[in-house]
Amino acid sequence: MSEPQILVHADASHLAKAVATRLISKLTNSCAVAGHASLVLTGGTIGIQVLAEIAAAPGRTAVDWHSLDIWWGDEAFLPAGDPARVETQARAALLDHVDVSDGCVHPMPSLHGDDGDDPDAAAATYAAQLMSAADDDMQVPVPSFDVLLLGIGPDAHIASLFPGMPALKEEARTVVAVRDAPKPPPTRISLTLPAIRSAREVWLVASGTDQADAIRLALSSASPLHVPAAGARGQRQTVFLMDRDAAQYVSE
């Protein structure tokens, strides 16, 4: 696993723009070198703001959107199109404004979809999709994610992996159902730590004073069972991108 890098920006607006610019550059280069790229999206205020900044950036035209596979790190188990779903927010912020191929966008299953109201079946369905797209040399049966974006909650949760959850001990499965989550909606689907750690690069994006203590703990030697963000590391690179409010307890 890679050692974390820390990048601090003045405020949330500058942070979102900087992450958007960095991501455009990364995806452009990955597509140029390999002919394709794979991106895992996150939600939350700053995560969606980053996507909106990409949509507004002239440089977005440099990305070969037809060669980009888009996945999600977690999702609310709600009906398709529900405004609380990260997919719905991501489409409104970015995906409806760029020329992505429908077959390259891989949303997590929704409530009342093919898996009905069973989140465990929905998680298994998404795990199967990831496995079908996995490279042969991957130790974990998921695609070679070029960048996996994560937000960080005030309790240091990432994706829908909250402190103390049994899913944090998961080693075999790549996707799990989450019930009774401490923030609404209570039923969710999430990648597991092995799936997250398989990414080439993990970018953790945080804004605001509410995240400051979580950032401090995530950069410590704390157990991921108690501080999930401490277990989020990329194979080649791990980057903490934050504004000054979120970074108040760490050194650049």
Domains along the sequence of the chain with CATH = 4-235 (3.40.50.1360)
115 and 122 Cβ atoms separated by less than 8 Å: yes
The phi and psi torsions of 196 (rounded to 5 degrees) equal -65, -45
Instruction: Pick the closest to residue 190 from 154, 230, 150 (CA basis).
Output: 150
Question: Which DSSP category does 40 fall into?
Answer: E
Q: Give the pLDDT confidence score for residue 251 in this predicted structure.
A: 73
- The helix/strand/coil state of 57 is coil
Query: Are 73 and 41 contacting, i.e. CB atoms less than 8 angstroms apart?
Result: yes
Contact 177, 192 (CB under 8 A): no
The phi, psi pair for 161, rounded to 5°, reads -100, 105
- Tell me, what's the pLDDT at 1? 75
Radius of gyration of the chain (CA): 17
| Distance in angstroms (rounded) separating the CA atoms of residues 48 and 91 | 10
Q: Is the pLDDT of residue 178 over 90?
A: yes
Other beta carbons less than 10 A from residue 14's beta carbon: 13
Q: Are 174 and 192 in contact (CB under 8 A)?
A: yes
The tens digit of pLDDT for each residue in 80-137 reads 999 999 999 999 999 999 999 999 999 999 999 999 999 999 999 999 999 999 988 8
pLDDT in tens, 123-132: 999 999 999 9
3-state helix, strand, coil in the chain (%, to 5): 40, 20, 40
